[in-house]
Amino acid sequence: MRKNRVDFIQLYKRYNWILMFLFLILSIIDFRFGIMALLCIIPAFGMAMLNGNRKFCTIWCPRGNFLIRILKNWYKDLKTPALFRSKVFKNILFIVMFSMFIKALIDTDGNLHKIGFVFFRFIFTSTIISIILGLLYKPRTWCQICPLGQGSQITGNISHKIKEVYDKGS
């Protein structure tokens, strides 16, 4: 069974970048496809709650693989700025982007087309930024500051602390 799981993970890692490409194309055709972004958002937070880490980012994130596939021969390999490794910067970016995202969702009044557009706009914009950063530094530079990854990290840390408190109390 373990071998089948490893084979599936390797197969998924090899081709999951196509999911990112499909998401962008389908969302341009009809913004309601933007809601498919939840297929990455929910598992990222779920895995962080269960495992206390960002394993989703390493193995399952289609954007990370997409960036590696499209930028592997084009990046400048400059040193990533220390700012991008700063927890303060990551937390500020997370708070700003998450606040903008929530505000945009509230403004949709439940309209499915508008909700899909909110997801699409955030994924598309951050993909453009991630490609620029990937060309300047390394393909997965965006992954260091990704708000979803930072949110997952925060969720994982909180979940881990809750488990520790619960385990001490038992």
d(CA 148, CA 40): 9
d(CA 68, CA 139): 5
Structure tokens given for 53: 């880490």
What is the tens place of the pLDDT at every residue in 21-45? 999 999 999 999 999 999 999 999 9
- The model's pTM is 0.90
Q: Which of 2-6, 13-17, 113-117 has the lowest mean pLDDT?
A: 2-6
Strands (E), 120-165: none
Q: Is 143 exposed, middle or buried (0-12, 13-18, 19+ CB in 10 A)?
A: buried
What is the tens place of the pLDDT at every residue in 124-140? 999 999 999 999 999 99
